[in-house]
Structure 1
Amino acid sequence: MRFIISPAKKMRAMDAPPWPVREPRFLARTAELMRAVQALSRDEAQGLWACSDRLADLNYGRFRDMDLARDTTAAVISYEGIQYTHLAAEVMSEGELDWLDEHLRILSGFYGMLRPLDGVVPYRLEMQARLAVGDSSDLYEFWGDTLYESLAAEGCDTIVNVASVEYARAVTPWARPGGPQVLTCLFGVLRDGRLRQPATEAKAARGTFVRWCAERRVEDVADLRGFHERGYALDEARSDERMLVFARVPVQNCRS
């Protein structure tokens, strides 16, 4: 069983544990993407990133000076965002980190797929970015079936999809008979009988879900059904063999 999650746009370099223990698996292909971004003008890069002037200056400088082998940070603490705050890898025990490193895979437009303790440098390159590289018109085409087949090569039978639609699209369409099957986990809030997925809460739920699995060293898909943090519980009626839906009823403010 392998879990896939999205990265975060915001990143940091840290000289703190957990320490990186290896290079990313697809570093040669990452170097190819790095060179493609470095070949862009500053304005072209900003157009690719669709970001503010401040962020364009920051990330253009990062790519200009980038060294993929120096001053790396473990991927799982390099990303900053709601999901990673709730995952809280920096305070995990050694056993929880061991589980996380074996079971969790972080999808990335730049690195392809990362294990939590792979060493990375800060970058900005979302999976949906239309960066033409070689014969590929965008990053989905660039990575193709590589990420799914990498998971298949690890010998897992189930891919637990906890990623956003943008990133899951780099893996799930390639699922094939005889390979790992995809089980998608959704987290929604029940309002007026309808299940909604507020973006901020969904990110918090995904991070909490992965942390909960790490704390329990989950090895069986059936055990995922017991997730109950943040007021969530499995919605049996909305779930099936390909999707687990966890629903949360918002707490209503009471007036005395």
Structure 2
Amino acid sequence: MKIVTSPAKLMSMDYKSDLLKPTTPAFIEEATLIHSYLKEKTPRQLSELMEISAKLADENWERNQQWTPKPASKESSAALYAFTGEVYRGLDAKTLDADAIKYLQKNYRILSGLYGLLKPSDKIMLYRLEMGRNFEFENYKNLYEFWRHRITEQFNSELKSKDIILNLASNEYFKVLDKKKLKAPVIDFDFYEMKSGKPKTIVVYTKHARGLMVRYCAENSIQKLDEVKGFNLEGYRIDEEMSKDNKLVFTR
């Protein structure tokens, strides 16, 4: 089983835990290369690249100047706890027990524009670099071009026979993987709110539900697809009629 999500723009380095032994991201050298170009960008260039306010651009320029591939513990955090967006509010990793954290370390990965592919225990610093941004460096037109082969190869190296991949990432991030070359079937997900008998997508709820699904898998040591179908947190239930072999649909 491999579970994959996107990162989040919102981050915090405040939470520390003894349940994860700190590790170095597999692609730290690649991250250092990418960051050498990111660091050179002025606040105005960051604002244009990321379509953010001048205040946020200044904040991220400061982050870029402080970033290092070998951060001290006080300026870094395990990836599992570093992201604090809606997916991670659903996951709520701080409240998981040791067995659930051990499950996530083995089965869960986070895609990243800067770090490529992260394990829960990987030490990271504050950063902002979405995968889908038009970030050109060296002879690469974008981050997809740089990362696709690298991440796909790494992902495949971690797969075991009969594994399945639970895709709980956004399209922006998951398409960095070369789906045709992945050595395991991919299961996609939809989460709907039922309004007047019709399924409706509400983005913030979808993100939260993705995190809930990761949590459900961790708490129940999920290994098989049939077990995934039992997901029932916060009122969700599987809709067998809308679901397909390669996509599970949950409604509430």
Q: Map of 1:83-98 to 2, 5 A cutoff?
A: 83-98=87-102
Q: Gaps spanning 5+ residues in structure 2: where?
A: none
SS in 1 for 2:81: helix
- 2:173 is matched with 167
1:184–1:178 Cα change, 3 Å: closer
Q: How many angstroms does 1:150 deviate by?
A: 1.4
Contact between 1:100 and 1:116, CA under 8 Å: does it hold in 2?
Answer: yes
- Give distance in 2, aligned partners of 1:177 and 1:121: 31
TM-score after normalising by structure 1:
0.91
Q: Deviation digits for residues 71-130 of structure 1, max 9, x if unmatched?
A: 321001111112112211112111110001111111111111101111000100001111
Q: How many angstroms does 1:238 deviate by?
A: 1.1
Q: Given residue 11 of structure 2, which amino acid in structure 1 is its aligned partner?
A: M
- Give distance in 1, aligned partners of 2:251 and 2:131: 28
Q: Map of 1:187-198 to 2, 5 A cutoff?
A: 187-198=191-202
- Give distance in 2, aligned partners of 1:207 and 1:226: 15
- Give distance in 1, aligned partners of 2:113 and 2:182: 26
SS in 1 for 2:165: strand
- Give distance in 1, aligned partners of 2:169 and 2:78: 19
Q: How many angstroms does 1:192 deviate by?
A: 3.2
- 1:45 is matched with 46
Greater shift, 145-154 or 107-116, is seen at: 145-154
Q: How many angstroms does 1:191 deviate by?
A: 2.0
Q: How many angstroms does 1:175 deviate by?
A: 2.1
Contact between 2:2 and 2:159, CA under 8 Å: does it hold in 1?
Answer: no
Contact between 1:76 and 1:116, CA under 8 Å: does it hold in 2?
Answer: yes
Q: Map of 1:13-162 to 2, 5 A cutoff?
A: 13-14=13-14, 16-17=16-17, 18-19=19-20, 21-71=22-72, 72-156=76-160, 157-162=163-168
Q: How many angstroms does 1:19 deviate by?
A: 4.7
1:64–1:177 Cα change, 3 Å: closer
Q: Gaps spanning 5+ residues in structure 1: where?
A: 249-256
Q: How many angstroms does 1:132 deviate by?
A: 0.7
Percent pairwise identity = 30
- Give distance in 1, aligned partners of 2:106 and 2:125: 21
Q: How many angstroms does 1:16 deviate by?
A: 1.7
Q: How many angstroms does 1:33 deviate by?
A: 0.9
SS in 2 for 1:25: coil
The total of aligned residue pairs comes to: 246
Structure 1 residue ranges (4+ consecutive) displaced by more than 6 angstroms after TM superposition: none
TM-score after normalising by structure 2:
0.93
- Give distance in 1, aligned partners of 2:149 and 2:142: 14
- Give distance in 2, aligned partners of 1:231 and 1:29: 42
Q: Deviation digits for residues 14-41 of structure 1, max 9, x if unmatched?
A: 2521555200011111001100111222
- Give distance in 2, aligned partners of 1:164 and 1:245: 15
